[in-house]
Amino acid sequence: MNANETRRQQRILVVEDDQGLREAICDTLELAGCTVFNAPGGAEALAILAAQKIALVISDVRMSPVDGIALLKEIRQWQPQLPVLLMTAYAEVDKAVEAMRSGACDFLLKPFEPAALLAQIDKYALPEPGAILGVIAVDPVSLNLFGIAGRVAQTDATVFLTGESGVGKEVVARFIHRNSARKDGPFVAINCAAIPENLLEATLFGYEKGAFTGAQTAQAGKFEQAQDGSLLLDEVTEMPLSLQAKLLRVLQEREVERVGGKKPIRLNIRVIATSNRDMMAAVQRGVFREDLYYRLNVFPILIPALRQRPADIAPLARHFVREYGASIGRPGLALAAGAEAALTAHPWPGNVRELENTLQRAMILAPGKTIEAKLLALTLAPSSSIPIPAEENLQNAEKSADNGNMKDLEREHILKTLAEARGSRKATAERLGISDRTLRYKLKQYKEEGYLQE
């Protein structure tokens, strides 16, 4: 997509108290194909932001009574993903520093040429997340999430994705890679929980011929394979402590040494890590190194549970029906309105993975072209006492749900499914749409809490 086509998708808000300059900037942007909104001050700008979907805000710094810095801070509180470009006629270093610390994407010094303004538009104003970037994001919470992910994708910062099992952490990681300058390089993923401890070091760092029994030839590790691209360390908290120290050194020095090798190999990669654990609790328990945590936690992103973004459920369900309908030779399948309503009301303790598995089963069982609600077999009844949190209260709501009613419902659902599967952990994990490792972890918890007997 060229610059002109991209600009035609931009909805830009210009905030400037000088009417003549405001009109000149608006004319420049409109001639470039942008859709432009304008406001003479901060209060009017906030009203427009509440009513319109805006891709970029361009604001003067010196305004009264609400100046550009105050407007920026207000925007950051409600729409942290929205790029804000500030402009001033005064080359004030302290204002520029304050603006950048408050989250401004850049600073333009007046007077500026139209070409300089348009260059900033092309750099920062991205199309609406989900429109052309291959993700399902309808709920405002998800739009905010992918907006933040899109912004950090423009940098090389290490990203730490956290959230419950099955929320789609790898989907977000691939989104970041796909929207970064490294998109033409490799995306390499490794699940740190799925590889035996004695093989994980060689898998990550590679090995030289003869480094150990069976090493017939030299082999590049995942770090080398991700050269000039992105490396996803999935479930990094499952990595043994002995290996965490070696990982820390690789991240600090940006070089790796193969097992049995003596020559360090320089790395040019972007690292993305994920975990479904409470990271600080893992550090306090001594199962994860504190220095490694801070090395990975450069740009943390909490991915909300599916129940916290309910507007995504039906679109995701329709996506899975289309995708798997074609693969099983039933492309005409569709969800009944009652089925969509039931899916949206369900709390989904297994998140997107559970939703996907539920729909695959229902599609196989559907006798006709329509998937009715009864085919979904949603054994965990929705509870009206489970609140759907507002976007601004996501983190507090997630903690409340984890520690309260949702935790009890999840435990009851898992234990009931285990009983229905006659104690088969494999069958239970498949029915719940969660990994064997996650199920083992949950059952261990329930034993310790006295809810499950040996």
Q: Which tens digit of pLDDT belongs to each residue from 192-210?
A: 988 888 889 899 998 888 8
pTM here is 0.60
- Interatomic CA distance for residues 387 and 441, integer angstroms: 26
Higher-confidence residue of 138 and 123: namely 138
Least confident of 118-127, 155-164, 362-371, 426-435: 118-127
Q: Quick one: pLDDT band at residue 400, thresholds 50, 70, 90?
A: very low
| Sign of the torsion formed by the C-alpha atoms of 413, 414, 415 and 420 | positive
Q: Identify the CA nearest to 230 among candidates 173, 167, 299, 297.
A: 173
pLDDT, tens digit, 9 for 90 and up, residues 347-378:
999 999 999 999 999 999 899 899 999 999 88
294, containing H or E segment: helix 290-296
For residue 169, count other CB atoms closer than 10 A to its CB.
23
**Residue 446 or residue 19, greater confidence:** 19
In three-state secondary structure terms, 196 is coil
Rounded CA separation 105/122 (Å):
13
State residue 63's pLDDT score. 86
pLDDT for res 444:
80
* Angle, vertex CA 87, rays to CA 82 and CA 91, nearest 5: 135
352, HSE (Cβ side, Cα atoms, 13 Å): 23
* Residues 218/209, Cβ–Cβ less than 8 Å: yes
Sheet with 299-302, strands from edge to edge, namely 187-191, 230-234, 270-275, 159-162, 299-302
Of 137-141, 216-220, 374-378, the one with minimum mean pLDDT is 137-141
Specify whether the CB–CB gap between 102 and 76 falls below 8 A.
yes
Rounded Cα–Cα distance for residues 164 and 350 (Å): 8
Q: For residue 280, how many other CB atoms are within 10 A of its CB?
A: 12
The string of DSSP letters for 385-454 reads: TS----GGGHHHHHHHHHHSHHHHHHHHHHHHHHHHTTT-HHHHHHHHT--HHHHHHHHHHHHHHTSS--
Q: Which one has a higher pLDDT value, 416 or 189?
A: 189
Highest mean pLDDT among 124-133, 142-151, 354-363, 420-429: 354-363
Residues 6+ apart with CB under 8 A from 63: 15, 16, 17, 41, 42, 71
Q: What average pLDDT does the segment 115-119 reach? A: 87
What does the pLDDT read at residue 203?
A: 92
Q: Which two tokens stand for residue 78?
A: 């409600």
% of the chain residues with pLDDT over 70:
84
Q: What tokens appear for 147 in the block?
A: 């907006």
Using an 8 Å Cβ cutoff, are 333 and 363 in contact? yes
Collapsed DSSP state (helix, strand, coil) of residue 208: coil
Bigger pLDDT: 11 vs 233:
233
Q: Which comes out higher in pLDDT, residue 429 or 278?
A: 278
Is 394 a residue whose pLDDT tops 50? Answer: no
Q: What's the mean per-residue pLDDT of the chain? A: 82
Q: Which domains does the chain have, with CATH numbers?
A: 3-124 (3.40.50.2300), 140-302 (3.40.50.300), 305-454 (1.10.8.60)
pLDDT of residue 88: 80
Distance (Å, rounded) from C-alpha 404 to C-alpha 393?
Answer: 16
115 to each of 31, 61, 110, 392, how far by Cα in Å?
A: 12, 21, 13, 37
Least confident span in 6-10, 138-142, 219-223: 6-10
pLDDT tens profile 59-73: 998 888 888 888 988
